[in-house]
Chain A
Amino acid sequence: MNQSYYNGFNSRKRKQEYKTDLPVMITPEVKEPGSILSSLSAYIFKPWHGFVILFFCMVSSSIAFGVDDNAKSSIAEVLWRWMPLLLKGFIFNIVISICAMAIGTAAGAALGLGQISLNKWVRRVSWFITQFFRNSPWLVLLFFAMFLLPFEINIGGLAIPLPDWVKAIIGLSLPVMANVSEIVRGAVVSLPSGQWEAAESLAYTRRQTLWLIILPQCVKRMLPPWMNLYAILTMATVLASIVGVSEVMTLTGQALAAEGGRTDLLAPFYSFVLLIFFMYCYPIARWTVRLEKKFSVIG
């Protein structure tokens, strides 16, 4: 074999690769970065989303025409009347979700760092807590917080009341904490070990390495799963209705009862609740996918 030939054609050498990373959602087309407004508009509505809303309206109105009789006010009218209250309820859901996310993220970050601690026992205990709360259903954890937290706590003679919605926030922050812990651990572990070695060879301490080198790089990797978790949490806030917190689902039930349990109102009201959650969570999901895609390109 002529050696010079290989030099010429070695660049052709390729290794077979299988792509196994599962795209979590449909990958949106990549757009040129533009102004905030124009890039935001990409997440809001696309033509086929009209179809989705149309679908809701069709379901609702077909039921309306089928059952409506002239003695009752029309479905649209009833829905319109209750809409402000339901939207206020939904804002309460958002408040719960933001609070639970904040608490869960703070606790989860600590727990996640515990999972990569050099101390064997800190690592094991953090791992166990993480797995324990990750394996538990959200609803069970919510019950857990509801029933086992006292209605008020005494700190040095000062009684701080714990209303149901605060308990709900704590209950929901437990699974968030466990998931954030896994996100932190996963991001740190996924970083190439060369980063640790390079920092060590430059005489950084472990603490410095972690805070100056590792964690800043992890933030980018953690952002998409963290946002995904937030969307899941937001959708889980309706669970609070089961334990009696006056959020949108509870108010929907009360509105339906106040209208005298008309069955023709069920579909429109539930559709409306689905729709407001969709309009809040879907843009988050799209945005998450975009970030994922962007970061995977940058690396």
Chain B
Amino acid sequence: MNKKKAYLILEDGTTFQGFSFGAERPTSGEVVFNTAMTGYPESLTDPSYSGQILVPTFPLIGNYGVPPEVDNGLSIFMESSKIHVQALVISDYSVEHSHWNANKSLDQWLKEQNVPGIYGVDTRQLTKIIRERGVMLATIVMEGGDLTLEHQKFEDPNVENLVAKVSCCGLEKYEPTKNAPETPLNIVLVDCGCKYNIIRCLAKRGATVTRVPWDYDFTQLEYDGVMLSNGPGNPAMCGITVENIKKAIAKGKPIFGICMGNQLLSMAAGGTTYKMKYGHRSHNQPALEVGTNHAVITSQNHGYAVDTTTLGSDWEPYYVNLNDGTCEGIRHKSKPFFSVQFHPEAASGPNDTEYLFDTFLALCKK
């Protein structure tokens, strides 16, 4: 690989020098770190990262290359049809990859998708800066580019409606997986930036999934349950979705929200959300089911959180984060509505909480 320098410039002027890989072009976005040790193909294709520059804290990236994309249907090892991050910043890039299921290198894939990457950066130092000062905007500049702080164009992705950008355009239907148990259930999936694995988790349990755009009034459809997906950016952009959820609550059929879905259900329940200093992005977040000794390790990717004190009186905390006490889920005290801030569908990350899909579908059957 020819070594061409590239730079990451944070809005406070901190500059890291590294080397370019992937697409050789400048860009800008919000810098976030993720402490997961595996799963870069899954993370890069996670629509929740839309607008963000991803910094994996694990230094060795690219080791097992990139799995093949499947043309029709859901790519098995990816979470959407394309890379969503603005850029990837890492410490050590494995030029040579090795895996039975790889058909290209990470460098090649980033180039194909026109996404820039930088390797050779002290990602631990970068992470500490983000941890102490909060998430920041940043630019990526290629060798020879203008490095002066005043000339950087820091574009804040959160001012635009990222959900609208990544949501699907029309209704899409997914049949149950072959050999799945027979479960004649119709689930509406509200796509705010949905990861494929949510669909897989429902389909392999025998459900038929109808994926609808974020602003679609799904309450007109016939359904047995509503699944609210994850998604990027500020939940406040999704006022329409919240209104639709309110209608669904009135309708009474089960509702299950994940990540952004948790925030939207909370807003429908009268609650508010706030932006966290640097969010939770990792595979090792511990959550406790409130009122029990049941603790789970969860996969997370969110920058906003729910303030549970603002919820309506019919609602209660469901899960709580064992490290910092933040909201990890809410539920209705008597009705089949619940949501979690973490990702029970994992991909990437631990799938200890996949049982929540069973819980949800069992409610839908009633």
* Chain B binds chain A: no
**Which B positions have Cβ atoms within 8 angstroms of A?**
none
